[in-house]
A and B are shown apart, each in its own frame.
Chain A
Amino acid sequence: MLDVLKRVFGMSEKKSGAVAKERLQVVLIHDRASISPEIMEKIKEEIITVLSKYMNINRADMEIALENDSDSVALVANIPVNSMRHAR
């Protein structure tokens, strides 16, 4: 009976169109996040420029990468600090 009511009012379990939309949104995060190595290098250089205003960082051991999770993408950076500059 509940099924019949649901059908009358146009409600039921998640429709395949909505499933397609959700799957697309997730896969496109991953697709669009594929950045070329040149751009990645540029991002790295710019982060160094900004951070160097406040601290001395160890460039050689610095790591930066995009990491994919099941439904999100994160930019993960590991930047060793050698010393801090005096705050002004």
Chain B
Amino acid sequence: MSQILVITSGKGGVGKTTTTANIGVGLAMRGHKVALIDTDTGLRNLDLLLGLENRILYDLVDVTSGRVAYKKALVRHKKFENLYLLPTSQVKDKSAVNPEQLVTLCAEMKKEFDFIIIDCPAGIEQGFKTAIAAADTAIVVTMPEISAVRDADKIIGELGRADKENVKLIVNRIRPQMVEKGDMLDMGDIDEILSVACIGQVPDDENVVVATNRGEPVITMNGSTAGQAYKNIVARICGENVPFLKPQKEGFFARLKKLFGLL
């Protein structure tokens, strides 16, 4: 039984595309056959994060407009051979693909793939509506920051109105030291406010920038905390019950030591 996931957020810059790339690679590393569809038409980036930017011949708009078969437009990953990317157009805009076209395309691709993951554009307009149309699960990515949580709430409302019942949450770029000091929303706060099942808590990790620079998602880097968090997310998507990573806590004695250090 194949699954269609959409990765969405409302707000831009919270890590939708990074999340899409990492979940895609993670599922492929487990042996699943995965297709990633970039629907951020006009602002294409998923190809860069996967290191596939030089291999693109055709795009999503070529496929939905009937110019080429989808298999011709798929770009196979160099290293993970059961991972494929369907890039979008960099010259067209969001109106170039409509919801019905994406639903039809996904129904056809479902026959070939275990997972289809759709990278949604920011915003709640046409592009969002197209991206979510075919999905049976929506993963909302947010950050422990007031505007990102507000936009996540808006998106969760929109998903409800579109009758998407299966909604999951990933909280990205958590800074444990700031949470510990009380200067960042913690997971309890976000759970209470959004009340959506959380499948991932990803710490802010410099390795993500390094990985993006190289075009090799951070999930492939051993020893990276964000990479480990993404591996756990992939396990949870596959139905495994994995506990959340415990952030390093600063206790009473650490505070005392810091104080004497200050004096």
Contact = CB atoms under 8 A, between A and B. Distances in A.
A, B bound: yes
A17 B185 contact: yes
B184 interface: yes
B129 interface: no
B181 interface: yes
A60 interface: no
Interface string B120-160: 00000000000000000000000001100110011001000
Contacts, number: 50
A16 B182 contact: yes
B146 A24 contact: yes
A32 B157 contact: yes
B189 A17 contact: yes
Contacts of B197: none
Contacts of A85: none
A24 to B, nearest CB: 6
B246 interface: no
Interface size class of A (residues with CB under 8 A): 10 to 19
Interface in B213-263: 252, 255-256, 259
A7 B255 contact: yes
A20 B185 contact: yes
Contact of B146 (A7, A9, A23, A32): A23
Contacts of B62: none
A16 B178 CA distance: 10
Contacts of A15: 181-183
22 contacts: A4-B259, A7-B255, A8-B252, A9-B252, A10-B252, A10-B255, A15-B183, A16-B182, A17-B178, A17-B185, A17-B186, A20-B189, A21-B185, A21-B193, A24-B150, A24-B185, A28-B150, A28-B193, A31-B150, A31-B157, A32-B153, A32-B157
A27 B151 CA distance: 11
Contacts of A16: 182-184
Contacts of B252: 8-10
B179 interface: yes
A17 B157 contact: no
Interface string A5-35: 0011110000111101101110110011000
Nearest to B157: A32
Given A17-B185, A20-B189, A28-B153, 6 more contacts: A8-B255, A8-B256, A9-B252, A17-B184, A20-B184, A21-B185
A40 to B, nearest CB: 16
B153 A8 contact: no
